[in-house]
Chain A
């Protein structure tokens, strides 16, 4: 059973729709106790880092995500959820959960690129079960103004180019994170979610 963490950061309808479409066994909850009992966790999120961390602290959901990660059970962070598993975000200088070493930085405005990075971009990924059946340079849908800079190469599961090369997906043991929205990335995205359901 997959527990989807509801911490009021954006809308969970699209994650709900994708998991239902794939006939995944899941529930959406804001109850730390219930979520800790799940076998896998999806940690989504859209919005801004500091307010998200504030909610995570006051609700006890941040501790639940940490405890779940420490238990060794599979955890998948998406978009803001992916950023928050790192150490720190430049977005309002926010201390994050620190589950994977690295920082979240702002796209520099002087690169002549539009920010947010919004739209479809290709990624290059390493060979882990999350990307099984997904060809190199497949396109995924991104919407973000801050990017993940994983500290160690070992934790970079996928990279993407937007002015600079940034961490599009990360892995550290049982912890997975993707900056893009698999639930909005067509068939490639559905395959990734299916892989998380079936292979972890």
Chain B
């Protein structure tokens, strides 16, 4: 049976995980490779690493992290953050990531999706999209770039469809309104985008408890749900979440 995915997201700055993270296990909580291994053992279906390194000179550190993760983690993983050229995509893929996520750079230069997909295949190219409710937009949602700081004259639904036609293989859809609130994913936005495109949609932003994942995977028609602080702070384990989803008859990998 085809299963819904739980994707665990880690922010990495200059090769170190940035969020304060409480683990019961005796591991280096700042080490992205150790944390990736921990989530792999806990049953995460996929991992996403966001490189939030500010300086361009230090980007090479992330490539080392990707290489080490690829050597130890035998599930798919995606790398995003600061990917702006075909060379950036190539570096990450050749270091062993399955997927690369492009966000602001793809809005500024949509051909990045097309060229990346033709070079490495659609399955490698993920569109990361930050959207917020805006009644002035045709779909009711506007696209933002630069980490949600800059509003664009771009409709979220139109951009999702355009990215699909350019060759994106998946969309990670982050709701700016829900992000950090821990009150649940943005169901309307997720459902609208997921049911309008033929590629998988990963819901992001707003998860605070397992019920939120069940809601977005069912009512929100999401193919996967992204989580971060919910598991980083030790409130829940990936296993706890999957148990709840099973109890709601949502197929997951055990």
Contacts and interface: CB of A to CB of B under 8 A. Distances in A.
A17 interface: yes
Contacts of B93: 11
B3 A121 contact: yes
A13 B93 CA distance: 9
Contact of A185 (B2, B74, B200): B74
A119 B224 contact: yes
Dominant SS among interface residues on chain B: loop
Interface residues of B, number: 31
9 contacts: A11-B93, A11-B96, A48-B121, A114-B200, A118-B169, A119-B3, A119-B224, A161-B2, A183-B74
A47 interface: yes
Contact of B1 (A46, A48, A118, A122): A122
Interface string B227-252: 00000000000000000000000000
Contacts of B5: 119-120
- Counting from the closest, the 7 A-B pairs by CB-CB distance are A13-B96, A139-B253, A120-B3, A120-B253, A143-B123, A17-B71, A121-B2
A124 B229 CA distance: 36
Contacts of A10: 120-121
A27 interface: no
Contact of A114 (B76, B199, B253): B199
Interface of B: 1-5, 40, 45, 70-72, 74-76, 93-96, 98, 120-123, 169-170, 198-200, 223-224, 253-254
B181 to A, nearest CB: 27
B74 A11 contact: no
A141 B76 contact: yes
Contacts of A129: none
Interface of A: 10-11, 13-14, 17-18, 20-21, 46-48, 109, 114-122, 137, 139, 141, 143, 161-162, 183-187, 189-190
A20 B1 CA distance: 31
Contact of A116 (B1, B94, B95, B123): B123
Given A119-B45, A186-B40, 11 more contacts: A18-B74, A46-B121, A114-B198, A116-B123, A116-B169, A119-B3, A120-B3, A120-B45, A161-B1, A184-B74, A184-B76
B74 A21 contact: yes
Among A10, A48, A116, A162, max chain B CB count under 10 A is at: A116
